[in-house]
Amino acid sequence: MGSSVYHSRKRQSFARGRFFKMKKVTAIYFSPTRGTKKYVEAVAKALDPDFTVIDLTSAKARAGKYHFGADDLVIFGAPVYAGRLPLYPEKLYGNITGDGTPAIFTVTYGNREFDDALLETKDMCEANGFVGIAAAAWLAEHTYSAKLAGGRPSQEDLAEVEDFAEKITQASLFEPLDVPGNRPYREGSRHPMNTVAAERCSECGLCARICPVGAIHDGAGFEADQSKCIGCLACVKRCMRSARIVDDPGLAAIRQKLEPAFGGVYKANQYFLNTK
């Protein structure tokens, strides 16, 4: 069966489901190193090949205001940083509101734990008018080490997302969605990383353009402002010349702590659905 037919039939089934109707699907994510983006867009595409994207990795996008109705479906996604969302949640999802809007809450993490980040997402979005119908905690390669969930999302992970999307077609708006986590949330922490331009830097300015918090000065030396940096390492991971490097002893310390405990361990993605 061709993919276009498959997606068309799936969307038709979803739109005519006995629980709710859907006009359009919107994928909303914060994804500096693109792992979250892959998962969220895979779900959105499986439900509606004409889905819309709001990429909150951009500060400009986060400054916008967005509202959705009861016949929309919104998929939220962000990576987990030290068990919490990477930014204060009101900065991440605070400008996004719904009106009884069905929503899927997701987070990605790098093989340790997602702790309270999924619950934090759910609480924030439901307070803003969204109704949780499903949630997921996915594995993606850790920002600080390829030994932690390296190579994920894999093709198997993304194929699994298709099955998740199929189950969402039977999700209920009328049952409370339960996800793991604790209130009060664990204390959040920020880990700025000192990154510098190596001699091979071509001064293309990509690092400054893609920094989600505007921490890199767009000019000679492309110096990073540690007071703004959230340690996402988008500047390092996405430099096409591998010319942005970490010059920070904190990175080695984190690796020494995490790799022995969580390296080489395969963890399954977790899914949570309202299907009663």
Is it the case that residue 24 has pLDDT exceeding 60? yes
Strand partners, 81: 84
Residue 5 in domain? no
Q: Are 200 and 160 in contact (CB under 8 A)?
A: no
Q: Are residues 104 and 216 in the same domain?
A: no
Q: Are residues 72 and 53 in the same domain?
A: yes
Q: Are residues 154 and 128 in the same domain?
A: yes
pLDDT at 191: 86
Cβ neighbours, 10 Å, residue 89: 20
More confident residue, 276 or 234: 234
Torsion over CA of 230, 236, 240 and 242, rounded to 10 degrees? Answer: 170
Going by pLDDT thresholds of 50, 70 and 90, the confidence category of residue 169 is: confident
Per residue in 99-143, pLDDT (tens digit) is 999 999 999 999 999 999 999 999 999 999 999 999 999 999 999
Cβ neighbours, 10 Å, residue 12: 11
Q: Are residues 181 and 237 in the same domain?
A: no
> What CATH number did the domain enclosing 209 receive?
3.30.70.20
Residue 252 in domain? no
pLDDT at 14: 46
Residue 185 to residue 73: CA distance in whole angstroms: 27
Residue 190 in domain? no
Q: How many domains does the chain have?
A: 2
Domain hosting residue 218, numbered range: 195-247
Going by pLDDT thresholds of 50, 70 and 90, the confidence category of residue 263 is: very high
Residue 213 to residue 63: CA distance in whole angstroms: 12
Give the predicted TM-score (pTM) of the model: 0.91
Q: CA nearest 136: which of 111, 170, 161?
A: 161
Q: Are 39 and 271 in contact (CB under 8 A)?
A: no
Q: Are residues 54 and 151 in the same domain?
A: yes
Per residue in 176-226, pLDDT (tens digit) is 899 999 999 999 888 899 999 999 999 999 999 999 999 999 887 899 999
Residue 256 in domain? no
Q: Are 39 and 77 in contact (CB under 8 A)?
A: yes
Is it the case that residue 260 has pLDDT exceeding 80? yes
